[in-house]
Amino acid sequence: MAGTAMGGTRRNPWAPWLLVAPGVLWLLAFYLLPTLALARTSVGPEGVAWYDGYQRAFTDYGQHLLRSFWYAGLATVLALLLGYPLAYVIAFRAGRAKNLLLGLVVLPFFTTFLVRTFAWKTILGDEGWLVGLLGTLHLLPSEGRLLSTTWAVIGGLTYNFLPFMILPIYVSLEKIDRRLTEAAQDLYCNALEAFRKVVLPLSLPGVFAGSLLTFIPAAGDFINAELLGSPNQKMLGSVIQGQFLTVRDYPLAAALSFVLMTIITILVLIYTRLLGTEELA
Amino acid sequence: MTPGHRQPGQRRWTGWMLDAYAALVLLYLFLPIFVIVAYSFNKPLGKFNFVWKSFSFDAWRDPFVFPALVEAMKMSLKVAAVSTSVSLVFGTLIALALTRYTWKGAGPVNLLLVLPLTTPEVVLGSSLLALFLTMNAPTGFWTIVIAHIMFSVSYVALTVKARIRGFDWTLEEAAMDLGATPLRTITHVTLPLIAPGIAAAGMLSFALSLDDFIITLFNAGSDVTYPLYVYGARRAAFPPQINVLATAILVSSLLLLGATVLWQNRSLKQALVKE
C-alpha cells in the first residue's frame, strides 16, 4: 500500500527517515542503549571476573528462573484452553453481539492491574466465600488454602494476560473465509473434522502470537507471585526487583535481567523466523 | 445428497456447551471486577479492605480523604498526559512513514517497534534504571515519563498503522491539485483521515501509562504514582478509596470509549454524506 508521497515531499528519499527520526531516536536512546547499559552493568566493576554476576545468577537463582518459565508456560497453556473457545465463539457464533463481546473481553482490563490482583487476593482469601464454598463441598480439606499456593499464582498470571491470548486468536479466526468450513462439511467432514482440518490450522498464527504475548509478560511478572503466592512461589522478577532496588547488587541484578531477556529474545527470534512479525503487531 | 454424517441434534448440543464454556470464561474475566466495585462499598473492620464487613457509602462520600492517594493519582494523570502527547506525535509520524513509503528502513523500524513489546517489563524497567545509574541521572517524574513514552511509541505507531493501512492517499494529491496549500491539506484532509486511529492510540497509550506498575517501580525514585501507591498500600493500609478510584477509572474509560465510538460513527456518516 505504498501510496505516492504528497506534494512537497513527493520525491524526497529522506522523507520517511525524517518522519521516523524522533520516535526511532527515542527508542534507540531509551530501549537499545539501556540494554547495552544493562549488559555493561552485568559484567561488574573492574577487578571482578566479568562472569561473576552470571555465575551467582545461575547458582543462587537458577530455581527462580526455572520456576518463572514453568509458571509462565502453564499459564500460557491455561490461557489457551480458556481463551481459544471464547475467541471461537466470538468469531463464529456471536453474530451481532460480536463487538459487544469483544468489548466485554477488554473491559476488565480498564481497571488497574494491581487492584485487579488484590481483588483476587480477596476472592482466594482464607475468609473468602470461595474457600468456604469449596470447603462445604469437601473439595478443599479443612484448613486448606487457596491463597499462597502455586495454583493461586498461576491462576493470577493466566487471568492477567488472558486478553493477550484471546485477541490475536480472535483476529486470526475472523480472517478465515467461512466458505472454507462449508466446503469442508460439504465434502463430508463432520463439524469436528472441519474444525481440526480447516479452522485450527488457519488460526495457528494467532495461537502462536497469543502464546508469545501471554508467555513473555507472565515470565517477567512478579506481582502475582508477590500478592497471591508465598516465598515458595517467588519468581525471577521479584529477585531482579529486590536486587536492583533493595539489595543494590547491581551486577547480579543486571545479569539476572540479561539472562531473562536473552532467553526470551531467542524465543521471539525463533517465532519471527517461523511466522513473521505481522501477527505480533 | 446431503452431507453424510452430520448429526443436527448433537451439533446443537456441542454448540450449546461451547457457548456455556465461553460464558464461564467471561465470568472468570469479570469476577475480580465485581469484587473491586462491591468492595468500594465496604466498611472494613481494620485498615485493610480485604474482608467484607458491611455495606456503606463512606468511601464514595469521601474519596479524597487520603492526601497521599490523591497526590499519587494526580502524578499518574500528569505522567499519562505528558507521555501520551509525546508518544502520539512520535508514533503517528512513524505510522505515516511505514504506510506511505516503500523504503529499506521499514523492516528495521518495524523490528524496533515490536522489540519493546516482546521484552518483559521487568527487563525494560531494569535496563532503563541501569542506564540512569550509569549516567548518574536522578530518577523521578521525568524518568517515569521517558519510560512511558518509550513503551507507548510502539503501541501508538502499531495502532495508527493498523488503522490507516490501505487508505486512499490520492485524496491529498487531489486537494493540492485543487490549489490547497500543504498545510491546509494536512489540516483538512490528512488529519481528519487519521484522527480516529490517533484517538484510539491515544486512549490505549493513556490507559497503559495509568496502569503501568513494573517499569514505573524501577524508575520512579521517590515519586509515587497510583499503582505504586496501591503497591505500598499492601503493607500500611488498603482503604476502600482505592477501589473507589479504580471503579471511577473503569467508568470513565467506559464513557470515553462509548463517546469515541459514537463520534467515529458520526464522522463516518458525515464523510459518507459529504461524498
Weakly modelled stretches of chain B, pLDDT under 70: 1-10, 264, 267-275
Of A23, A31, A240, the CB nearest to B122: A240
Q: What pLDDT shows up at residue A1?
A: 38
Q: Is residue B3 part of a domain?
A: no
pLDDT greater at residue B193 or residue A33: A33
Q: What percentage of chain A reaches a pLDDT higher than 90? A: 58
Contact criterion met (CB below 8 Å) for A171 and A103: no
| Interatomic CA distance for residues A230 and A20, integer angstroms | 46
- Residue B42 within a domain: no
Task: Report chain A's mean pLDDT, rounded to a whole number.
Answer: 88
pLDDT in tens, A233-253: 999 999 999 999 999 999 999
Q: Using CB atoms, pick whichever of B98, B105, B231 lies closest to residue A114.
A: B231
Overall residue count recorded for chain B in this entry: 275
End-to-end CA distance of chain B: 49
Q: How close is the nearest chain B Cα to the Cα of A138, in Å?
A: 22
**Residue of chain A whose alpha carbon sits nearest to that of B132:** A34
Please report the pLDDT score of residue B1 as a whole number.
40
Higher-confidence residue: A177 or B41?
B41
B3–A116 CB contact, under 8 Å: no
From chain A, pick out residues whose CB is under 8 angstroms from the CB of B94.
19-20, 23-24
Give CA–CA dist B57/A256, Å, rounded.
47
A116, A108 contact by CB (below 8 A): yes
Find the CATH number of the domain harbouring B97: 1.10.3720.10
Query: What average pLDDT does this structure show over A2-22?
Result: 69
pLDDT digits (tens, 9 = 90+) for B201-251: 999 899 999 999 999 999 999 999 999 999 999 888 899 999 999 999 899
Interface touch B213/A89, C-beta < 8 Å: no
Per-residue pLDDT, B267: 67
Residue B246 located in a structural domain: no
Nearest to B3 among A185, A213, A221 (CB): A185
**pTM for the structure as a whole:** 0.88
Q: pLDDT grade, residue A131 (50/70/90)?
A: confident
Residue B172 located in a structural domain: yes
pLDDT at residue number B41: 95
Residues of chain A with C-beta less than 8 angstroms from the C-beta of B253: 110
CATH number of A62-165+206-275: 1.10.3720.10
Residues B96 and B88: their CA atoms lie apart, in Å, by 12
Burial class (CB in 10 A: 0-12, 13-18, 19+), B269: exposed
Q: For residues A125-154, give the mean pLDDT.
A: 86
CA distance B27 to chain A (A): 10
Q: Which of A2, A16, A101 sits opposite B105 (nearest CB)?
A: A16
Give the single-character DSSP code of A3: P
pLDDT in tens, A67-113: 999 999 999 999 999 999 999 999 998 888 888 898 889 888 888 89
A7 contacts in chain B (CB < 8 Å): 172-173, 176, 182, 185
Residues of B in contact with A86 (CB under 8 A): 21-22, 25-26
Q: A196: pLDDT confidence band, cut at 50, 70 and 90?
A: confident
- Considering the domain boundaries, does residue B12 fall inside one? no
What domain range includes position B221? 66-238
Residue A93 has its nearest CB partner, among B19, B33, B217, at B19
Give the model's pLDDT for residue A278.
53
Decide: A150 and A207 in contact? Cβ < 8 Å: no
Say if B270 falls within a structural domain. Answer: no
Domain chopping of chain A, boundaries = 62-165+206-275
pLDDT number for residue B272? 61
Number of domains in chain B: 1
From the candidates B2, B27, B29, which should be mutated to test the interface with A, based on the most A CB atoms within 10 A?
B29
The Cα A264–Cα A270 span in angstroms is: 10
Select the residue from B18, B112, B126 to test the A interface by mutation, using most A Cβ atoms within 10 A.
Answer: B126
Residue A9 binned pLDDT confidence (cut-offs 50, 70, 90) = very low
Q: Is residue B75 part of a domain?
A: yes
Bigger pLDDT: A39 vs B273? A39
Q: Choosing among B36, B40, B123, which should be mutated to test the A contact, i.e. which has the most A CBs within 10 A?
A: B123
pLDDT digits (tens, 9 = 90+) for A151-173: 999 999 999 999 999 999 999 99
Task: Name the residue among A41, A122, A244 with its Cβ closest to that of B50.
Answer: A122
* Contact (Cβ atoms closer than 8 angstroms) between residue B165 and residue B229: no
Q: How far is B81 from chain A (nearest CA, A)?
A: 17
CB pairs under 8 A between A and B: 300
**pLDDT score recorded for residue B271:** 64
pLDDT of residue B215: 97
A7: pLDDT confidence band, cut at 50, 70 and 90? very low
> Choosing among B69, B101, B143, B225, which should be mutated to test the A contact, i.e. which has the most A CBs within 10 A?
B101
Read off φ and ψ for residue A6, nearest 5 degrees. -85, 160
Is residue B265, in this structure, part of any structural domain at all? no
Give the per-residue pLDDT at A252.
95
Nearest CA among A165, A31, A110 for reference residue B252? A110
B33 and A27 in contact by Cβ < 8 A? no
Rounded to whole angstroms, the Cα distance separating B103 from A3 reads 12
pLDDT at A56 over 50: yes
pLDDT, position A2: 40
- The confidence score (pLDDT) of residue A226 equals 94
How far is Cα B216 from Cα B27, in angstroms, rounded to an integer? Answer: 31
DSSP A235-281: -HHHHHHHIIIII--HHHHHHHHHHHHHHHHHHHHHHHHHH-STTT-
Q: Using DSSP, state whether A16 is helix, strand or coil.
A: helix
| Res. A177: pLDDT tops 90 | no
